[in-house]
Amino acid sequence: MFRLNGRAALVTGAGGGIGAAVAKAFADAGAKVLVTDIDEQAAKTTAEAIGAEYCVLDVRDAQAAADAARQAAALADGTLHILVNNAGAIAPAMFPDLTEEAFRRILDIHVVGSFVCSKAVLPYLPEDGTGRVINVTSAAGLTGTIGQANYGAAKAGIIGFTKSLAKELARRNVTVNALAPLAATAMTENIRANEKLAARTLARIPLGRWAEPDEIAGSFVFFASDAAGYITGQVLPVDGGTVI
């Protein structure tokens, strides 16, 4: 039930962190993976490590997303089974110091990027029950976070996008779900490197530790597999109990 043999997957932001771990987990489960990232060298490094193809992708660029979708679909005779909208960025600032440019940029990458890539893969998604769109949100989108009004708004937007798209694509037998992970990655380094912030964060995690990216990846394999064929429109926190 958890094998992905013969299926093609496109993972955005897969040059490192959770995206790289997901790409590897998919490949280990038998999928043919297209690794994408805005950083070409990072994408190449991940792809070479798992024997996959790669391409440069700015998720805000509709033409680049269309090209990536076509390349990924070619891995499985014109069918793209799995899209993971993982690409992201942060620009933390307390609200009085948060600029409009920083607010718009984070929404563009997360929300517009998820829209653009989902739109790009739509023509290639199968209607046999194996089509999957997996979005990445965060506890910030579920509960809010101080100093990241832009990030929290973007991640909440992804939740609404996930639920709406799930209702639309259900008629095509495609599932759409979201994961809200928490792991030791470059995006959380600013918290982990600050002694006070790190202590506060750990105090809110019932399991009392940060996950490694590969601990998160199995949840993506689950949502991509036949085991999750009757689950759609859901948000699964994978955060050590932070959101309960």
Long-range contacts of range 108-114, CB-CB < 8 Å, 24 or more positions apart? 108/60, 109/59, 109/60, 109/154, 110/151, 110/154, 110/155, 110/157, 110/158, 111/154, 111/157, 111/158, 111/161, 112/59, 112/60, 113/12, 113/59, 113/60, 113/85, 113/87, 114/59, 114/85, 114/158, 114/161
Q: 132-136 and 82-85: which strand pairing?
A: parallel
In tens, the pLDDT along 159-212 reads 999 999 999 999 999 999 999 999 999 889 888 998 998 999 999 999 999 999
List for the chain the helix, strand, coil content (%; round to 5).
50, 15, 35
d(CA 108, CA 87): 11
> Mind telling me the catalytic residues?
151
pLDDT of residue 197: 87
134, 87 in Cβ contact below 8 A? no
Give the single-character DSSP code of 36.
E
72, 34 in Cβ contact below 8 A? yes
In tens, the pLDDT along 38-57 reads 999 999 999 999 999 999 99
pTM exceeding the 0.85 threshold for the entire prediction: yes
112, 38 in Cβ contact below 8 A? no
CATH number of 8-237, picked from 3.40.1190.20, 3.90.550.10, 1.25.40.10, 3.40.50.720: 3.40.50.720
